[in-house]
Amino acid sequence: MRLSQSRIQAITTQMGSARILVLGDIMIDRYLYGTVSRISPEAPVPVVDIQRETIALGGAANVAANIAALGETPLLVSVVGADSSAETFRQALANSEIASDMLIVDSSRQTTMKTRVIGESQQIVRADREDRHEIGGEIQGQVLKLVSSKLDSAKALIISDYGKGVLTKSLLKEVIALANSKGIFIAVDPKETHFMNYSDVSVITPNHHEASFAIGKRILNEEVLLEVGSELMTRLRLKSLLITRGKDGMTLFEADGSSSVHSHTNFPTVARRVFDVTGAGDTVIASFVSAVSAGATLKEATIISNCAAGITIGELGAATVSCEAIATELIRLSDTTAG
């Protein structure tokens, strides 16, 4: 399946006009870049001479950054610590023109920061500073109140679960019920250990490893893929399921009305090169939801998100992509297929 040039233009020109609520675990991605010319005399490890440092938004914040890059307005709701890293995070949001007024401070936890040391274009080590305990009842109440106040103005809700404690089972249940009562499209980028908490949502976007873990069947072929997809659709009462499959592309499952029959469609990968898959799942869910908000069907949204992911994995680190870049690449692919 491919999109006509007129349909590409119709969808991508409508993208960028929605307010999209993003709820989940945020983090700071810190990159230290340098060169390697010797081995440490203290231990058999390379010595990296650091030449530059960058700060990027990670987790749910990278979803928000992807939403912003597409021209939409992200409403980011999350929890940070009462620490200097939270200030660094707020500045990073400001640099991306994303509002930070919906962040709730929890003094019992630290703001997640992941530091990656890159030597000669290769990641050498990653050091994490974080807390993974679940937020308490008081903080959970603040999150729910904030989400409730923002849902009416949102076109869609993205739940970005990185398993850092913000998305408790009880919070997810209340948020999903609230969004469904308002008829809001709900998309979830799941944590593999939390799958059974995502019932009755519009779409879940796991990779094939996460989907395999959730059902306990390793996806080795098309037959097992269909078994896993069908079982997830049935167990969670999903409207749709998008499984990303790396070099094998994506598979979209859709509910067939009220029956237990689930249709599926395979989409081959369109990536021209794979340099870094960091943040690819964030790009997929952001572009998928943006396209749906612009009036795309689920199949059309899959084509668009597949294209967006193909662009971003050709970049180092968690990259973002614009509607213009997606439209240009889709037209190139359309011309290639036609030729």
Q: Give the residue numbers marked as catalytic.
A: 282
| Helix or strand holding residue 89 (H, E) | helix 84-95
Of 287, 258, 214, residue with least CA distance to 229 = 214
- The C-alpha atoms of residue 127 and residue 125 are separated, in whole angstroms, by 7
Question: Cα 129 to the chain's mean position, in Å?
Answer: 21
| 195 secondary structure, DSSP code | G
- The C-alpha atoms of residue 128 and residue 112 are separated, in whole angstroms, by 7
- The C-alpha atoms of residue 124 and residue 116 are separated, in whole angstroms, by 8
Ramachandran angles phi, psi of 55, nearest 5°:
-120, 130
- The C-alpha atoms of residue 145 and residue 93 are separated, in whole angstroms, by 22
> Which residues are within 8 A (CB) of 223 and not within 5 positions of it... i.e. 6 or more apart?
none
For 22-51, b/e burial (b = at least 16 CB within 10 A) is bbbbbbbbbbbbbeeeeeeeeeeebebeee
- In single-letter form, the type of residue at position 319 comes to A
> Which residues are within 8 A (CB) of 255 and not within 5 positions of it... i.e. 6 or more apart?
233, 238, 239, 240, 262
Copy the structure tokens of residue 64. Answer: 């928000």
Q: Give the three-state DSSP class for 229.
A: helix
Question: Cα 43 to the chain's mean position, in Å?
Answer: 37
